[in-house]
Amino acid sequence: MKNNLLKLLTNDNEVRMYITDATDIIEHGNIKDIKSDFSKELYRRIFICCCLLRGLLTERDQRLDISIRFKPQGYSVYCNIDGEGNIHCTFSSKLKVFTGKMEDLAGKGATMSISRGGWMSGMFTGTIELRADSIEGCFSDFYCRSEQVETIFKIFICNGIMRGCMIQPLPFVERKNLEYLTDYINSNQNTLTLLEWADLPNKLSSYARVIEEYKIQIECNCSREMFFGILMSVEMDELKQSIQLNKSEELECGICGKKYLFNGDDLKEIVKIKEGI
C-alpha cells in the first residue's frame, strides 16, 4: 500500500505541514453504516483530520483518543489513532441518521476531548467547548486553545477524492510567510485534490520538501484494550452517570465493525484509574 501521509517542512524551515490522501481507507471503513448525507460528510471530514493527526505520533506505542460529545444527548463520536497508522472512527447510533446542520450540534454544551500518550507513559487529556461552524474548525480550535499550538486544518473533497492538509507554524515563523503558504493552499485546492498523489511533492517543491512519509493502515488491529483507552477520554461526569443508571457502553470498531461491551464494573474501573491520575 502506498504511503498516504506526507510530512513536509517549508523551505524556509518555518512551517511544518502534513498532507494525506484518505480516499482508500475511508472506503474500507464503516461509512456504509451511516445513513444520512450530512453524517457521511461529517464522518469523512473527521476521518481525514484523524489521518493528519497520525503524523504527530512519533512512537509506535503512542496513541490519540478523541471523544466528541455534541449538544444533543446521544450524538457522539469516538476515534482512536495509533503510532502504527491504524485509524478507528465510530459514530453513535443517533448521529448516524442525523439530518440537521453543524450549528445544531456545536455550541454551548458540546465538547471535544483529546488524550495523547502511551501505555507506559500515561495519557494526558485536554477538553474544549465546540464553537466553530465546521468540524475541521473544531480541531483547529482544540490545538490552538488546549495545546497552544496554532494549527490549521484544510479538507479537500472533489470527484470522490478525499484529502486533507494540516499546517503548524513553528514559533519563529514570519506571519507573511505563513499567509503566503495558506493563500497558496487555498487557491490551489482543486489541483492538490485531483493531482496524482505521486506528483504532489513536485508540485509543492517550490514551497516545501517532504521529510517523512507514513502509511495509514487499512488492516484492523482493534482490541478491547484499545476501546478501553477510548473510554478513558470520556468525561468523568458522563461515566459516573452511566454507572448510576446501570448503563453499559457499547463501542463499535470503525473498520471491521466488531462491537465491544463495557458493563458497570468496567466503567467503575475506568473511573478509579482516572481519579488516580
Q: So where are the chain's domains? A: 5-276
- Among 98, 42, 49, CA closest to 73: 98
pLDDT values of the chain reduced to their tens digit, one per residue, 277 residues: 579 999 999 999 999 999 999 998 887 767 888 999 999 999 999 999 999 999 999 888 888 989 999 998 889 998 888 888 888 888 888 999 999 999 999 999 999 999 888 755 667 889 999 999 999 999 999 999 988 999 999 999 999 999 999 999 999 999 999 999 999 999 999 999 999 999 999 999 999 999 999 998 755 667 788 788 778 877 788 888 889 888 888 887 756 667 889 998 999 998 888 887 5
8-state DSSP, 86: B
- Give the CATH fold of the 5-276 domain: Hsp33 domain (3.55.30)
Maximum pairwise Cα distance, the chain: 59
**How far is it, in rounded angstroms, from Cα 265 to Cα 225?**
15
Strand pairing partners for 82?
A: 63
Angle at 92 between CA 90 and CA 97, to 5 degrees: 110
